[in-house]
Chain A
Amino acid sequence: MKLNIKNIGKLALAIGCLSAEVNAQIGKPFIHDPSTIMESDGKYYTFGTRGGGLVSEDGWTWNPGGERPGGGAAPDALKIGDRYLIAYGATGGGLNGGHNGKILTMWNKTLDPKSPDFKYTEAIVVASSDGNEDCDAIDPGLLLDPTDGRLWLSYGTYFGFIRLVELDPKTGKRVEGNKEINIAIDCEATALLYRDGWYYLLGTHGTCCDGANSTYNIVVGRSKKVTGPYLDNMGRDMLKGGGKMVMGSGGGRVNGAGHFGHWKIDEGVEKMSFHYEADLDMSGRSVLAIRPLLWKNGWPVGGELFREGTYQIESERRGYGLELIVDFTRMPGGFRGPRDPNEPIVKVASQELKDVIDTWPKGEIGVRAGDYIARPHQKWTISAVPDGGGNPGGPYYKIVIAGTERALAATADAELITVPKFTGAAEQLWRIDQLIDGTYRIMPKLIPNSNEKLALISSGDSTPTLGKFDFNSDNSKWNFKNQ
């Protein structure tokens, strides 16, 4: 790009647009200590500190609506069979209070308060702290061990140890005779998860509840046994303060990530739910956040919300870039090799949209993938569509050729096309999920006349199409390279 005043102006405008991007869940997603997100009767629920909770129909727009009695702090939720087990902490707490906390559990058949089946069982105490011992029994986290069906609960805060107890998955009660085990210190809001032979203990460190000054951050250690020891990436025991950070503050407008929840959407598509202590675009309030969860060398890594911008859309299959099927327009000149070394050096202008757009057909144009050399028919601008709806962790996006309104769309026969002008039709809206390996899944909101959920896949190197997503195939994966 030529650095003239006009282009600087354009650049400033582009940056201005970027800053307007949607950064957190929309609606009224105000919550502290969100419990693991549960789906119930086609809706998503999360509960928070002080009772109540949020509900969402699409995983993106969240509003008050969940109901959880008992008040108290930092609940967690887990579906076992056809029932939901809710755990929460109750304490007299506060600065001048002690740390005599209690963990309680209760069941419900549904999380939908409007359902006739909606009724919590009486809450029962499963763990407690006496106020002066090295533990504060609040902030429960639940894990149903997929290897043996045993139910575990971690709890505790900065006040001493994080402890682990075993519950009966049928009753939600403490297993008789079970002794609590110390598994970490100085964390809050712990959560457990199991993956590939490892148990992961996620906890929150840092300063809580200080608005924009909060340094709350989520850390992790892992163990081959649910009972520990949970070591971090340096081999440091979480009982000695160990922990590798998974998510901290989010780039300046959202600060203080806390209270991890794991949300597996599909194989290879995982999310983490948590709260930001302060969303500066939402009055500095504490808000729900959902971000991609990545796995790197056996460690969970927090991903980022997709950033709007102009990209090469690169196939993981071969590395080709998505492009319009139009005749390639050559730039002037050809090979210039080692000729006169003293020849003056000049900059060669890039090919621009205006140089080629008149050679393109005016109607629908097909899409293929090819060798990417940053030509106008290969550059795509991706931006969130206001009122386009959303999905877990993101809004729907439009994908247009940079500088135009020519939009990528799904066809009724599950192929791809570009239409000359974006109309907001559902087949022109795209869901973008970052996968656990850092690549992306791209899905149309709708295939016309179809209920199938298909993703953008490579059929051949040069042939993108829509097909079933398969995390184990690079055909299903794409990368966005910033332009």
Chain B
Amino acid sequence: MNRKHPSVMRVFIFALLSWLKISSSAVFAQGPGPRPSLPPIPIKGDTTHTLTKHFTQASSEPKKTDAKGFIQRWLVLEPVKKNIARNNIITDNFLKTTFSADNFSNDYNMIPKDGESVKIGDQDLKWYALDSKTFNFNLYHFTYALNKPKYGILVWLVTVINCTEDIENVRMSAGCNSGSMWWLNGQETMILSGDRDMIADNVTSPRITLKKGKNIIRGAVINGPGMANFGVRFIDDKGEPVKNFTISYQ
């Protein structure tokens, strides 16, 4: 009896903790407002924090887009910690102000180096050159793997598009959870404001030209609680993916 009682207590406490964890994460993951409580489910989850589960280290060989034109290779900076409780504050002006304040460089044609560190505020943050295993790039998986904050984050991105000729009249296209801004060769191309989900081709840029040679994409994604990811590609004037370029991080 004496021995059994503590074990019952342990089971109870475990269940309670599990429930608290699930229900609290459900609240945050789903955004505002209480949801009905869920029954406790034992967590099997991955406890190995490893980048290689969802990403591979980018090689120096230029990479093609995936079959649908999505850009899977990105230089990703460790998250800038942002105290954002809810995503309903992500207006256009909020994004512009925040990305301007917490910027690693005002030179939008600058290409960071894999493994180097930059300072934003009082945080030392490191660049990773990664290829996503999926069409989209999951920043939640990225921060989780690095044991960095998963919620309330700002993530900077850079990638390089190499073209053998000018490609005119294309549009950059993005879906993002949650807010983001995008630049091509130093020009702002897209702003995705609001409490958004990652939807392919959710926002497209005006018509732009990918010039012969290197084109540098800069992106910044911000998210409060919940899933964070993005998918970027270029589409032509018929809405078809543009694939005749390669992607590198140098």
Contact between chain A and chain B defined by CB under 8 Å: yes
Name A residues whose Cβ lies closer than 8 Å to a Cβ of B. Answer: 325-328, 330, 334-335, 337, 368, 370-371, 413-415, 459-463, 465, 467-468, 473, 475
**Would you call B34 and A337 a contact (CB within 8 A)?**
yes
Of B33, B92, B94, B203, which is within 8 A of A335 by CB?
B33
**Would you call A463 and B203 a contact (CB within 8 A)?**
yes
**Would you call B237 and A467 a contact (CB within 8 A)?**
yes
Residues of A within 8 A of B237 (CB): 467-468
Closest to B191 in A: A325
Does B138 make an interface contact (CB < 8 A)?
A: no
In the complex, what distance in Å separates the CA atom of A467 from the CA atom of B239? 11
Extra A-B contacts (15), CB below 8 Å, given A459-B235, A462-B203? A326-B92, A327-B94, A328-B193, A334-B32, A413-B206, A415-B206, A460-B173, A460-B201, A460-B202, A461-B202, A461-B203, A463-B171, A463-B203, A467-B237, A473-B239
Given contacts A327-B92, A330-B88, A334-B33, contact A460 B206 (CB under 8 A): no
Query: Smallest CB–CB gap between B133 and chain A, Å?
Result: 25
Does B207 make an interface contact (CB < 8 A)?
A: yes
Chain B interface: which size bin?
Answer: 20 to 34
Does B194 make an interface contact (CB < 8 A)?
A: yes
Closest to B192 in A: A462
In the complex, what distance in Å separates the CA atom of A312 from the CA atom of B91? 21
Given contacts A330-B88, A461-B199, A461-B201, contact A335 B32 (CB under 8 A): yes
**Would you call B194 and A328 a contact (CB within 8 A)?**
yes
Among residues 159 to 204 in chain B, which have CB atoms less than 8 Å away from a CB atom of chain A? 171, 173-174, 192-194, 199, 201-204
Residues of A within 8 A of B204 (CB): 459-460, 463, 465
Of B88, B199, B201, B207, which is within 8 A of A413 by CB?
B207
Residues of B within 8 A of A461 (CB): 199, 201-203
Does B60 make an interface contact (CB < 8 A)?
A: no
Of A327, A413, A460, which is within 8 A of B203 by CB?
A460
In the complex, what distance in Å separates the CA atom of A277 from the CA atom of B34? 62
In the complex, what distance in Å separates the CA atom of A398 from the CA atom of B237? 27
Closest to B239 in A: A475
Residues of B within 8 A of A370 (CB): 194
- Most chain A CB atoms below 10 A, which of B33, B174, B204: B204
Does B147 make an interface contact (CB < 8 A)?
A: no
In the complex, what distance in Å separates the CA atom of A368 from the CA atom of B92? 12
Does B47 make an interface contact (CB < 8 A)?
A: no
Please report whether the interface of chain A is mostly helix, strand, loop or mixed according to DSSP: loop
Query: Smallest CB–CB gap between A200 and chain B, Å?
Result: 33
**Would you call B206 and A337 a contact (CB within 8 A)?**
no
Of A368, A371, A459, A475, which is within 8 A of B171 by CB?
A459
Query: Smallest CB–CB gap between A83 and chain B, Å?
Result: 38
Residues of B within 8 A of A462 (CB): 192, 202-203
Query: Smallest CB–CB gap between B219 and chain A, Å?
Result: 15
Closest to B195 in A: A371
Given contacts A460-B203, A475-B239, contact A327 B91 (CB under 8 A): yes
Please report whether the interface of chain B is mostly helix, strand, loop or mixed according to DSSP: loop
The 6 closest A-B pairs by CB, nearest first: A335-B33, A460-B204, A327-B91, A459-B204, A463-B204, A462-B203
**Would you call B92 and A325 a contact (CB within 8 A)?**
yes
Closest to B34 in A: A337
In the complex, what distance in Å separates the CA atom of A475 from the CA atom of B237? 12
Of A371, A413, A460, A465, which is within 8 A of B194 by CB?
A371
- Most chain B CB atoms below 10 A, which of A325, A461, A462, A473: A462
Provide the B200-229 mask, 1 if CB < 8 A to any CB of A, else 0.
011111110000000000000000000000
Does B93 make an interface contact (CB < 8 A)?
A: yes
Residues of B within 8 A of A460 (CB): 171, 173-174, 201-204
In the complex, what distance in Å separates the CA atom of A327 from the CA atom of B173? 21
Residues of A within 8 A of B88 (CB): 330
In the complex, what distance in Å separates the CA atom of A370 from the CA atom of B191? 13
Residues of A within 8 A of B93 (CB): 327
In the complex, what distance in Å separates the CA atom of A415 from the CA atom of B207? 9
Query: Smallest CB–CB gap between A365 and chain B, Å?
Result: 11
**Would you call B192 and A328 a contact (CB within 8 A)?**
no
Closest to B174 in A: A460
**Would you call B202 and A328 a contact (CB within 8 A)?**
no
Interchain residue pairs with CB less than 8 A apart (25): A327-B92, A327-B94, A327-B193, A328-B91, A330-B88, A335-B33, A335-B34, A368-B203, A413-B207, A415-B206, A459-B171, A459-B204, A459-B235, A459-B239, A460-B171, A460-B174, A460-B201, A460-B204, A461-B203, A462-B192, A465-B204, A467-B237, A468-B237, A473-B239, A475-B239
Of B199, B203, B207, which is within 8 A of A414 by CB?
B207
Residues of A within 8 A of B206 (CB): 413, 415, 465
In the complex, what distance in Å separates the CA atom of A475 from the CA atom of B202? 12
Query: Smallest CB–CB gap between B192 and chain A, Å?
Result: 7
Residues of A within 8 A of B174 (CB): 460
Query: Smallest CB–CB gap between B136 and chain A, Å?
Result: 15
Among residues 82 to 97 in chain B, which have CB atoms less than 8 Å away from a CB atom of chain A? 88, 91-94
Query: Smallest CB–CB gap between A123 and chain B, Å?
Result: 50
Query: Smallest CB–CB gap between A476 and chain B, Å?
Result: 11
